[in-house]
Amino acid sequence: PEGTKGLKPVISVIGTGYLGATHAAAMAEMGFDTIGVDIDPSKIEALEAGRVPFFEPGLPELIVKHVGTGRLRFTSDLADAVATADVHFICVGTPQRRGSHAANLSYVEAATKAVAESLSHDGIIVGKSTVPVGTAARLRKLVADSKPEGIETQVVWNPEFLREAHAVDDTLRPDRIVFGGTDAKSEAVLREIYAAPIATGTPVISCDLATAELVKVSANAFLATKISFINAISELCEVAGADVRVLADALGYDDRIGRKFLNAGLGFGGGCLPKDIRALMSRANELGASRVVGLMQEVDEINMQQRQRVIDQAIDACGGSVLNRKLAILGAAFKPDTDDVRDSPALNVAAALHLRGAQVLVVDPEASQTAQRSFPTLSFADSLDEAVTDADVVLLLTEWPVFVNADPTHLAELAANPVVLDARNALDSEVWSSAGWEVRPLGGRTVA
Ligand code: NAD
């Protein structure tokens, strides 16, 4: 075959966070010798021992499996990994820059430069991180200036669409694969690497660098817009006496619309959507695409306003002040099935109510530790029962199945006051109200 001429390429994955650790494990599962690299020695130490330093269903098993087969190893020594590997995936973070909407590209630049400088033979640098359009073209120059003379390399982009909580499955069975800026040789190598999903019919879109960068950002922008759309409509529903849940179901049957991402509620958070739409705003502004700026600003504002709506509802449910009132906060993670609390709406609301003098007790099945690190002043319960006991108001802020499927009759006996703010529109109002609860859904009708 073209590309690696029959020899399987060895893969390095630079950055072993949510994206990189999953990608490295998936590469090993697809049959490639893979080396994960991170500058955080504690992450490498954990991964080497087969421990995943965060919660992601199915990932520990896959990592243990391939550390066992010897196909997967981890190191802090980037130069060694790059010298061994042929294809280098850049999976480092691109967080929001402090005091700005723009993405902080310093990690991507540093990692790419380090790879380029360490190249000891020809290879391909494949960007996976989510970056503003135009970044990859700049990285090409950086690589050309940094690599040793006589070594051939190319920078291409292969954006990642995985969802936390479904990361393993999404990586092994992606909806589509996007290659940006490939030539015949790098295209052949990437097709060889992704041969397994391609063989099962996963569509491959080969395009220029700018399109590849923008596909990823636009996908997140669209999802964010869909959530903010239904949240804007939910505000109208509340005033007009309509029920946003029924409305969303009815809309969702139209297959041009679809039911997914139409749950009105506390809105989106996490390490991707919020910072990605802000980075898009910033980049679109630089490039003079003012419509995109305005649209994304509105989407962001609606999203942040949902947090305020929940805070206001909590104050209202407490009769005008939360001072010294006991609030049970169900959920800390930004969504269920993850321990990721980056820009978590639940924690944001919990912290705001705590600041207003409420006695806030947070419970989360997986994210208590990560939450405690980010919000050391908040108190955490070990169990749902402990959190709800003596609560004046219960707030459902992350729709973990253990909360949604909890026994409302039992919980009603524990609470001081059986009032629940369903900020995720996830509870069965009828069931909870028959168990004695006053259910206040965000954007829906209060059921008592
Ligand atoms: P993360 O913070 O969990 O992981 C990034 C890792 O990179 C960290 O472990 C950090 O120590 C490491 N790192 C930073 N600089 C390094 C360097 N020079 N060399 C080696 N390692 C370095 O972030 P993440 O959630 O994995 O996101 C990474 C990128 O992937 C971002 O651009 C994000 O937008 C994108 N992405 C994330 C997801 C997701 O669901 N988390 C999905 C798709 C795309």
Q: Name the least confident of 3-7, 62-66, 227-231, 429-433.
A: 3-7
Span from the CA of 38 to the centroid of ligand 1 (angstroms): 10
Q: What total of structural domains would you count in the chain?
A: 2
- Looking at the fold, whether 248 and 388 belong to one and the same domain comes out as yes
Q: Is 342 annotated in some ligand binding site?
A: yes
Does residue 88 form part of some domain?
yes
Q: ipTM score of the complex?
A: 0.99
Does residue 373 form part of some domain?
yes
Q: Which residues contact 4 (CB under 8 A, 6 or more apart)?
A: 86, 189, 192
- Looking at the fold, whether 368 and 252 belong to one and the same domain comes out as yes
Q: Is 113 annotated in some ligand binding site?
A: no
- Looking at the fold, whether 114 and 163 belong to one and the same domain comes out as yes
Per-residue pLDDT band at 1 (split at 50, 70, 90): very low
Does residue 356 form part of some domain?
yes
* 272 catalytic per annotation: yes
- Looking at the fold, whether 176 and 253 belong to one and the same domain comes out as no
Q: What is the pLDDT at residue 446?
A: 76
- Looking at the fold, whether 166 and 243 belong to one and the same domain comes out as no
| Separation of alpha carbons 193 and 11, rounded Å | 9
To test the pocket of ligand 1, the residue of 38, 118, 142, 213 to mutate (highest count of ligand atoms within 8 Å of its CB) is 38
Does residue 308 form part of some domain?
yes
Average pLDDT over residues 337-344: 96
Ligand 1: which residues within 6 Å by Cβ? 14-20, 37-40, 43, 91-94, 107, 110-111, 114, 129-130, 160, 162, 164, 271-272
- Looking at the fold, whether 397 and 275 belong to one and the same domain comes out as yes
Instruction: Report whether 442 contacts 264 (CB < 8 A).
Output: yes
- Looking at the fold, whether 66 and 168 belong to one and the same domain comes out as yes
Does residue 446 form part of some domain?
no
- Looking at the fold, whether 236 and 174 belong to one and the same domain comes out as no
Per-residue pLDDT band at 63 (split at 50, 70, 90): very high
Give me the domain span that covers residue 388: 223-441
Question: Residues 91, 237, 272, 318: which is the catalytic one?
Answer: 272
- Looking at the fold, whether 257 and 298 belong to one and the same domain comes out as yes
Average pLDDT over residues 196-212: 98
Nearest to 258 by CA among 267, 249, 246: 249
- Looking at the fold, whether 201 and 299 belong to one and the same domain comes out as no
Strands (E), 15-144: 34-37, 72-75, 87-90, 123-127
Nearest to 273 by CA among 229, 310, 219, 233: 219
CATH code, 64 = 3.40.50.720
Average per-residue pLDDT in the chain?
96
Tell me the two tokens of residue 180.
Answer: 């940006």
Given 206, 235, 267, which residue is the final one in a domain?
206
Q: Which residues contact 131 (CB under 8 A, 6 or more apart)?
A: 94, 103, 105, 108, 157, 213
Calculate what percentage of the chain has a pLDDT beyond 90.
96
pTM, entire model? 0.96
Does residue 241 form part of some domain?
yes
Is the sign of the CA dihedral 72, 74, 78, 79 positive or negative?
negative
